[in-house]
Chain A
Amino acid sequence: MAQHKVNYTQNGGLPAALTSIDKIVNWGRSNSIWALTYGLACCGIEMMASGASRYDFDRFGTIFRASPRQADVMIVAGTLTKKHAEFIKRLYDQMTEPRWVISMGSCANTGGMFNTYATVQGVDRIIPVDLYLPGCAPRPETLQYGVMLLQKKIRANYASKAQKAKRLM
């Protein structure tokens, strides 16, 4: 049997570390960003690839959830049609605070190549967006980097909404 030896006499006798509320809350939040599965088009395939074993989102604490009530971040992966616009708003409203939105790929950012009557020209016409990922479709690395930037954004702000938000990074 392994022998664990804890020296209770060092650090003033307690196995403790000091930090601030903001830091510990943001540490928790930023390392368990649960994402809403929102694959609307081919970007959804890249999002699935990011979640699968090679890129492995689980190590960031990012787990895909099928319910907006359990999700922290909505990754809009794909073309948003005007018919679907009301549903993205409804799902966004159902997410609990604090919540973030990643717009993934050209179609979600600006409408992309679908310069037509049926496509919403950027999801930011409907919901506020935190991160825009370029690409058609973005590589899983891009989405990974995006999630890391989002973690950084979460840590850079105050944990409480009552305090005014700081600028990202």
Chain B
Amino acid sequence: MRAYTPKDDVQAKPYYTDRFYKSPQVPKHAPESDEVFNADLESIKAKFEVLDAYIQVEQMVVYINAKDNYGVLELMRDELEYTQLSEMSAIDWLADRNGFEVFYQMLSMNKRKRIRIKMFIENGQAVNSVEKLFRSADWSEREMFDMFGIEANGHPFMKRILMPYDWQGNPLLKTYPLQGDEFAAWYEVDKIYGKEAREEIGPEIRDTARIDRYDSDRFSRLGHEVPKGTEITGDEPVNEQAYQEDGGVFLIKKFDKESSVIIDDPQR
């Protein structure tokens, strides 16, 4: 298994630095190239400040200021016919820009168009809840809070949704280790048995393929079973595998392999 390395600077420090390498980009088009998108963008621009806008993969991406998110989404829902919030979440840019990018993916069934509203917030900054506009934002904002720690002001029930309420840490942050930090590793042991049981239960064994032939505490060699904790020397007696004890069981007929018949005629 790969050893864990700290990933605090993984965004700031790319592991591949070729001076002449240009990473391929999905082509961006100007919003003017599509008249529906252009009209939508003009009506957003009339009321709110738009930082950037382009069309990528037939969807328009609009960057706005974080304070405008409720107004922009209300405008899009009520006037521009973008009646569905199909997805919302955040992207961790902490190492690069010390903040998060929050996106709202909007769908218009009438226009058959999708627009992604994006905004940048600083680390620790809260966003305005859009739960009053779209019911789907209810759980999405709770998930965003759970996974990134971004609070949504005005949300009726701002609690974790996936992780337990007493969890510490936000698992979708890029700095969060996949196999959990100290708190996560001992969570269930601490909660059920208390911290003093840590020593007895021991740390998590993360190598699921680990097999120790000489460990009779955890492993049993089929056909050569010995009592728990016995030192394995290599000359363990063979235990014949049988479905039933030799003497048979009271009232139950013993299965006799010798006298059993294998029926190989399908037309019997």
* Chain A interface residues toward B at CB < 8 A: 17, 19, 23-24, 27, 30-31, 82-83, 85-86, 89, 106, 110-113, 115-118, 120-122, 125-126, 148, 152, 155-156, 167-169
B249 contacts A112, C-beta separation under 8 Å: no
Assess the A152–B245 pair: CB atoms within 8 A: yes
Determine if B177 and A117 form an interchain contact, defined as CB atoms under 8 angstroms apart: yes
B180 touching A116, Cβ below 8 Å: yes
Q: Contact at A116–B178, with CB atoms within 8 Å?
A: yes
B17 at the A interface (CB under 8 A):
no
In the complex, B19 has a CB within 8 A of chain A: no
A82-B187 in contact (CB<8A) = yes
B residues less than 8 Å from A30 (CB atoms): 249
Task: Assess the B205–A115 pair: CB atoms within 8 A.
Answer: no
Q: B188: CB under 8 A from chain A? A: yes
B26 part of interface (Cβ distance < 8 Å): no
The residue from A82, A106, A155, A156 contacting B188, defined by CB atoms under 8 A apart: A82
Which of A115, A125, A155 has most B Cβ within 10 Å?
A125
A155 with B187, Cβ < 8 A, contacts A89-B192, A121-B206, A125-B201 known: no
What class of interface size applies to chain B in its complex with A?
A: 20 to 34
At the interface, yes or no: B243 with Cβ under 8 Å from chain A? yes
Given contact pairs A31-B252, A110-B205, A118-B163, a sample of 5 additional A-B residue pairs in the complex whose CB atoms are under 8 Å apart: A24-B250, A30-B249, A117-B181, A118-B171, A155-B245
A125-B243 Cα distance, complex, nearest whole Å: 30
Complex A-B: 24 CB contacts under 8 Å: A17-B250, A24-B250, A27-B250, A27-B252, A31-B252, A82-B187, A83-B163, A85-B187, A85-B188, A85-B191, A86-B188, A111-B204, A111-B208, A112-B208, A113-B208, A117-B176, A121-B204, A125-B189, A125-B201, A126-B188, A126-B192, A148-B243, A152-B245, A156-B245
B91 in contact (CB, < 8 A): no
Binary flags per residue of B229-260, CB closer than 8 Å to A gives 1, else 0: 00000000001000111000111100000000
B243 touches A82 (CB 8 A): no
Which B residues from 160 to 186 make CB contacts under 8 A with A? 163-164, 171, 176-181, 184
B1, B163, B188: the one contacting A120 at CB < 8 Å is B188
Evaluate contact between A19 and B250: CB separation under 8 angstroms: yes
Q: Which residue of A lies closest to B202 (CB)?
A: A125
Asked whether, in the complex, the Cβ of A83 is within 8 Å of the Cβ of B204, the reply is no
Name the interface residues of B44-73: CB closer than 8 Å to any CB of A: none
B176: chain A residues at CB < 8 Å are: 117
Candidate in A30, A118, A167 with the most chain B CB atoms within 10 angstroms: A118
Contact check, B171 vs A117: say whether CB atoms are below 8 A apart: yes
Chain B residues whose C-beta falls within 8 Å of the C-beta of A168 in the assembled complex: 225
Known: A125-B189, A152-B245. A117 touches B239 (CB 8 A): no
> How distant is the Cα of A30 from the Cα of B191 in the complex, in angstroms?
34
Least CB distance from A157 to B in Å reads 12
What's the least CB distance linking B149 to chain A, in Å? 15
Q: Which of B178, B181, B192, B243 has the most CB of A within 10 A?
A: B192
Q: Digitize B93-136: 1 where CB-to-A-CB distance is under 8 Å, 0 elsewhere.
A: 00000000000000000000000000000000000000000000
CB distance from A41 to the nearest CB of B (A): 16
